[in-house]
Amino acid sequence: MNTADRDTDILIVGAGPVGLFLANECARRGIRFRLIETRNAQSEHSKALAIFPRTLEAFDMAGLVGPFLDAANRVTAVAVITHGRRLAHMRFEPEQSPYPFVAMVPQNVTERLLLEALRRRGGDVEYGSTFLSAEPGGGGVRADVDRSGTRVSLRAAFVVGCDGAHSAVRHLLHLPFEGGSYPDSFLLADVETNEGLPGDELQLCPSERGPLAIFPMSATRRRIVATIAAPEGDAPSLDLVRRVLAERAPREIEALSLHWSSYFRIHHRHVGSLRSGRFFVAGDAAHIHSPFGGQGMNTGLQDVWNLAWKLDLALRNHAGEALLESYGAERLPVIRTVIGTTDLMTRAMGTPSRIAQALRDAIIPMVSRLAPFQHAFVERLSELGIAYAGSPIVEGPGRRYWDDSLRGGAGIRERYLLMTGETEDAPTRRAAESLLARFPDVLEARSPSTTGIVLVRPDGYVAFESPEVDAAALDHVRSLLERQIA
């Protein structure tokens, strides 16, 4: 299917945060896209709250971060408190990031900010448009969409299902969604409180009655998340929230009024494959898990951050099969780790076993003071520690790369960045020039902020690095790129 035969390049199904972020990335990159959404407007629910430093860095590279910083309540500490006793207090201020905090932004605000940015870039959402089915054909995909009762056909190069936990795209592809469910329901409530607890600290409260977490949305507004064995009514009342807080929360907090509340059931599931030919799934369509840890939306946003540049290169006829396949190879290990960690946390915080509780309450105060634990905790929660070691398109640890030249939306796009330290060696200079000439559309030389050679991918991860600036290392870069670039 030629570009002229297609209605669009990428059909994005679902305008939740993940679909909206992908649409923004398409708009920034000049990729044609259609973003269809079955609802008639964005959801008004505040659901996911926490935006972690690595997601803020991705927003920064995508030119979107400013309004999120203005809207956010900044959290810089996490406390573990049980029965009035502080088991741990950990600073959360990762020094290596320009965003050393968790940005608390209600999901409806996140969606609004992403939509506003998309509209500024000339894009929009097609509301009242439901993805029905699709099939590959003619070198692309033909999709059927119900647009306010009328069935229309769309031709695209790729379809990305960002259509949430009940994803029609996932069902179409027959991708098993394996995992399990938590036995209890979860209570979620946004409440106005007194100022008894600090507004920059998140509290995790383990309890034999089930875990409870308190996320500060402002000095006085809190998001309460707790498991609940016996839900009462259609939505949690202020009275029920107060009882749950009295049983499990620090005494200092007092719930004064209720903004919004809901019950929900949680599963921990993920697909075994994120891609089938020209179809991809991302976000809740691909993985769902416990809200303790607040990683759900962040993981979805980083799925599409990983995918967007690969689709961009594919549409410019520069992506080899290995590049598209690497989306799943890189994201699935991250997804499994997030599900494993949040599952462990949910179980440990709510264990009914007295022995396990005693062990937990004895171990947390000791371990949480240890520098290696604090470092690992910050790396994990901030998502700055995510790396793509073992990826077929990476050599070495695949760590995050950051310098200020990446920021602002124009710092990094479809090109890999080749950072090379100074060399006086003529063969090495010639090898660098020949490498840049070999990949004129996908490789760009950038003044180094480090010594040696660093090859940075368009999503700010290191594909290759060498402490030596020599022709052999540059030859390595060439063969690595040849394996992934068509």
Ligand X SMILES: Cc1cc2nc3c(=O)[nH]c(=O)nc-3n(C[C@H](O)[C@H](O)[C@H](O)COP(=O)(O)OP(=O)(O)OC[C@H]3O[C@@H](n4cnc5c(N)ncnc54)[C@H](O)[C@@H]3O)c2cc1C
The residue ranges that bind ligand X (CB under 6 A) are: 13-19, 36-39, 47-49, 107, 130-131, 162-164, 168, 188, 262, 264, 283-284, 291, 294-297, 300
Q: Which is nearer to ligand X, 18 or 205 (CB)?
A: 18
CA dihedral 258→263→268→272, nearest 10 degrees, is: -100
250, 205 Cβ separation under 8 angstroms = yes
State the minimum distance, in angstroms, from the CB of residue 38 to ligand X.
4
Our CB check for ligand X shows the closer of 8 and 107 to be 107
Q: Distance (Å, rounded) from C-alpha 106 to C-alpha 51?
A: 9
- Looking at the Cβ atoms of 111 and 325, the one nearer to ligand X is 111
**Shortest separation between residue 433's beta carbon and ligand X, angstroms:** 44
Of 18 and 75, the one with the shorter C-beta distance to ligand X is: 18
Residue 196 CB-half CA count within 13 A: 14
Angle, CA 419 vertex, CA 418 and CA 424 arms, to 5°: 115
Bridge partners (DSSP) of residue 143 are: 134, 154
Residue number with CB closer to ligand X (131 or 416): 131
For 203, residues 6+ apart whose C-beta sits below 8 A from its C-beta are 78, 79, 80, 81, 197, 213, 214, 249, 250
Compute the distance between CA of residue 99 and CA of residue 64 in angstroms, rounded to an integer: 14
Closest to ligand X by CB, 269 vs 415, is 269
DSSP 252: T
Greatest CA separation for the chain: 76
Residues in the chain: 486
CA distance 401 to 420: 14
Least Å distance between CB 265 and ligand X?
9
Question: What's the min distance (Å) between Cβ of 13 and ligand X?
Answer: 5
Based on CB atoms, which residue is closest to ligand X, 202 or 319?
202
The Cα 107–Cα 50 span in angstroms is: 9
CB of 123 to ligand X, least distance (A): 16
Residue of 404, 399, 386, 378 lying closest to 457 (CA atoms):
399
Q: Which C-beta is closer to ligand X: that of 131 or that of 388? A: 131
Cβ contact 167:38 at 8 Å = no
Q: How far is the CB of 482 from ligand X (least distance, A)?
A: 34
